[in-house]
Structure 1
Amino acid sequence: MKKQRLLVFSLALNAVLILTFLAFGYIYRDKIVQRFVKMKGNPTIVMYGNSITAQGKWVELLGRADVMNNGLPGQATYHFLKQIDSYVIDLHPKICFIKGGINDITLGVAQDQIQAHYKAILEILMEHNITPVVTLTVFEQNDPYSKREVDALNRFLVSYCTQKNISYIDLNQYISDSTGLRAEYAIDKTHLNTKAYKIWAREISRVLKEKGI
């Protein structure tokens, strides 16, 4: 009888441990796959940008394990430019999705400087035969100054991308209105929620399909 109780206890404990392990794997699956992608090297896709990029669970969202999330929270376009070799170029991806600018605007960086940084980033990617795709800067919630600056930056990006035949994604048409980022797609003034990331992933998948990647 005692042995039976011990066996039942042992089986129950093993079941709990297995379920815990599976739950842990499910919750952290994106981070686990990212570790493998980093170890393997040479991802097909690199996501490069600030915290809005960094917070995306791109392996899960895109349904593929060849994507590297190299978002840099709190960083501006100057930092993206300075760190592009180690975070993108040295990884030899086929395509890089770049998104930034809102931290520059918050810090009061002049438009000509933001635009110059962005232009340099895109030129470096093209020089290394990495296909750049720009995600236009997303508006913040209810901030007229920020919205004017984002509009100015996006006008430049659309013009430059059109001239250079660079694909771009405009999330604002789906998740923003005349006042800025809509509350239903935000977790705070600046950052996106799950609904917004699903729309972004849909647009990324569309671009990847168009390019046969």
Structure 2
Amino acid sequence: MKTHTVNTAVIPATKLEEDSYDWWERHEQVLRIKHEINPEIVLIGDSITHFWGGLPVSSSRHGTGQAWESVFAGRRVLNLGFGWDRTQNVLWRLDNGQFEGLSPEWVVINIGTNNTSDTENARSSTAEEVRDGVRAVVERVRQHAPSAKIILMAVFPREESPEDPRRKLIGRMNELYAELAAELGLIFLDIGPSMLAEDGTLPREIAFDTCHLTEQGYQLWADALSKIIGKKSN
């Protein structure tokens, strides 16, 4: 196994990968609208969060939006999900204005799955490296919004087979995430078991490409979040 002297997961980085949207334009959209929204809830993540819904409006959305409405209807929500982002991309965004001046009640962090990818632009990370990247994200959030309650999501299951090496890496990451949450006083939320079939496989009815969620998958997430943040009272 390779060892690395520098943990790239904790070094802030701008856009690394090409995706179906303009990374820089979405960043500028966030800076334009964040104070107008004055969010009660901020979601921080990658494409799984990005393509769920909310503001800034995305040109691509997975699912029908019903799961989003079931948990966030009537709430002021800022979606800081950016497709293909790793922890290092989130750190750059938080260092460059996306959270500045915000004081949400809730912050939901769902990041790390793309750190398991090895591309020409960025190597894959070890579980310990990703954990340290998430720690740095939490530190940034608390610098800006010390009173916010933070929900740290376990990385969702990925790949169909429970024996897939990426699935096992994610399992180890989630063990470290749980320990980190206990150390830092975060709410750790793991919906992975509810997403899997009895034999441990990941059904495409939940994650259509064994990574990104369907509406059914988003509803599992929405239901779990609702139990923590509650519904908006009118």
TM-score (norm 1): 0.74
Query: 1:95 and 2:115 equivalent?
Result: no
Task: Give the 3 Å change call, closer, same or farther, for CA 140–68 of structure 1 in structure 2.
Answer: same
Q: Which moved more, 1:36-45 or 1:48-57?
A: 36-45
Unaligned runs of 5+ in 1: 1-33
Q: Does the Cα contact within 8 Å between 2:43 and 2:81 map onto a contact in 1?
A: yes
Residue 69 of structure 1, aligned match among 74, 79, 82: 79
**Equivalent-residue separation in structure 2 for 1:37 and 1:64 (angstroms):** 17
1:39-83 deviation per Cα after TM superposition (whole angstroms, max 9, x unaligned): 623211011100000111355242124011111101101111121
CA RMSD of aligned residues (A): 2.4
Task: Give the 3 Å change call, closer, same or farther, for CA 112–179 of structure 1 in structure 2.
Answer: same
Residue 132 of structure 1, aligned match among 145, 150, 157: 150
- Higher helix content, 1 or 2: 1
Q: Does the Cα contact within 8 Å between 1:141 and 1:183 map onto a contact in 2?
A: no
Per-residue deviation, 1:38: 4.2
1:77-115 deviation per Cα after TM superposition (whole angstroms, max 9, x unaligned): 111112124233433322210101110001222223211
TM-score (norm 2): 0.68
Residue 55 of structure 1, aligned match among 51, 57, 64: 51
Q: Does the Cα contact within 8 Å between 1:81 and 1:120 map onto a contact in 2?
A: yes
Which 4+ residue blocks in structure 1 deviate beyond 3 angstroms? 36-39, 177-180
Query: Residue type matched to 2:179 in 1?
Result: S
Per-residue deviation, 1:158: 0.6
Counting aligned pairs with the same residue, the percent is 20
Task: Give the 3 Å change call, closer, same or farther, for CA 39–169 of structure 1 in structure 2.
Answer: same
Query: Residue type matched to 1:93 in 2?
Result: P
Counting matched residue pairs gives 177
Q: Secondary structure of 1:48's match? A: strand
Task: Give the 3 Å change call, closer, same or farther, for CA 67–205 of structure 1 in structure 2.
Answer: same
What is aligned with 1:142?
A: 160
Unaligned runs of 5+ in 2: 1-29, 55-67, 119-123
More relative contact order in 1 or in 2 (CA 8 Å, sep 6+)? 2
